[in-house]
Amino acid sequence: MTAFATTTSDTLHAAAAGAGGHGKENLFAELLHHVRDSRELEVPFLGHVSLPQFDPVTVAGIPIDVSITKHVVFLWVAAFLLIILATYAARNNARRDVPRGFGNLIEVFIVYMRDEVAVPNMGPAGVRYLPYLLTTFFFILVMNLLGLFPYGSTATSNVSVTAGLAIVAFIMIQSAAIRTQGIKHYLAHLTGGVHWVLWPIMVPIEILGLFTKPFALCIRLFANMSGGHIVIVSLLGLIFLFQSYLIAVAPAGFVVAIYFLELFVAFLQAYIFTMLTAVFMGLGMQEASHGDGGEHRAGVH
């Protein structure tokens, strides 16, 4: 986010000093501007740079805006950085029998994800899904960290980005379940093992349950990454809202504390999203061991 960027202070100060009775309204508008998505980038020495805009694309009668925004740019930046860093770490590790430096750091994360996330939740079969889990973890982590640099922005504070991540997670959760159970057992578990008379009630509930898991992943990541940003920018805004240096000490101290908390949250939320995805995948894969029992109970009743 741009909490510590020079441009943030400048624009907040200009808004707070606005003419007439609209100073506070302008200040709050600027606060929201630095938290939400934008069609402009704040570039050092260049100021605000407009991003390319395109006409909406109509799909099935629904117009879809495919224009490039600030969060889209930082989504691409995160992907590019992840590719460069992962390639660098892989080549360094390939040249050495014992990883060192940055390659060793990455291997620590990889081993932890394998031994503490994938295998405990999905069993030995979870190793095949380790590349997806690692990509999810590092991609979210890089996006989270980019928002802590001046002129940066956190793409995961955009619900559209977290929704995209959740959709991919949903596909992986259902694919892992179908691959392990087989399509027959996968459809059978939607009945919940109850009498067929209750299927009209149970099947919609089970189908709804399939979507609540990725929905929770989406909202959890979005809310946590947006909340800290809003708190930091709001605390800074208090300085310019009251237009007094006397009140600046307390908000500045709180901002520094929350900034370090945000650094921790960046890692924590990447881990939680990955861990919960692994847990949901594991639950679907474990249904295979209960599928026959569920069919049998349904048949007996």
The mean pLDDT value for 18-28 works out to 50
Where residue 137 falls among pLDDT bands split at 50, 70, 90?
very high
What is the per-residue pLDDT for 5?
40
Higher pLDDT, 20 or 168: 168
**pLDDT band (50, 70, 90) for residue 131:** very high
Q: Helix, strand, or coil here: 43?
A: strand
Task: Confirm whether pTM is higher than 0.75.
Answer: yes
User: How many separate domains does the chain show?
Assistant: 1
User: Within a domain: residue 256?
Assistant: yes
Q: What is the pLDDT of residue 4?
A: 40
**Whether pLDDT at 233 is above 50:** yes
C-alpha dihedral (66, 79, 146, 36), degrees to nearest 10: 20
Domain range holding 33?
Answer: 6-300
pLDDT of the residue at 24: 54
Q: What is the pLDDT of residues 95-128, one digit of tens each?
A: 887 888 888 899 999 999 999 999 999 989 889 9
Averaged pLDDT score across all residues of the chain:
82
Buried b (16+ CB within 10 A) or exposed e, 133-172: bbebbbbbbbbbbbbbeeebbbbbbbbebbbebbeebbeb
For the ranges 32-41, 68-77, 104-113, 252-261, which has the lowest average pLDDT? 32-41
- Please, which pLDDT band fits residue 287 given cuts at 50, 70 and 90? low
Q: What's residue 231's pLDDT?
A: 83
User: For residue 116, how many other CB atoms are within 10 A of its CB?
Assistant: 13
**221/228 Cα distance (integer angstroms):** 12
Within a domain: residue 177?
yes
User: Is residue 124 classed exposed, middle or buried when 0-12, 13-18 and 19+ CB atoms within 10 A define those classes?
Assistant: exposed
3-state secondary structure of 11: helix
Has residue 287 been placed in a domain?
A: yes
Q: Where are the alpha helices (DSSP H) in 182-248?
A: 183-188, 199-242
Q: How far is CA 216 from CA 21, 37, 99, 181, 224, in A?
A: 41, 22, 37, 24, 12
Q: How far is CA 177 from CA 17, 132, 163, 190, in A?
A: 58, 15, 21, 12
Residue 1 inside a domain? The answer is no
Nearest to 14 by CA among 263, 272, 240: 240
Q: Is residue 100 part of a domain?
A: yes
- Average pLDDT on 176-192 reads 85
What per-residue confidence (pLDDT) applies to 110?
Answer: 93
- Least trusted range by pLDDT, from 14-28, 41-55, 104-118: 14-28
Q: What is the band of 30 on the pLDDT scale with cuts at 50, 70, 90?
A: low
Do 46 and 54 touch, CB atoms closer than 8 A?
no
Q: What tens digit of pLDDT does each residue of 72-102 get? A: 999 999 999 999 999 999 998 888 878 888 8
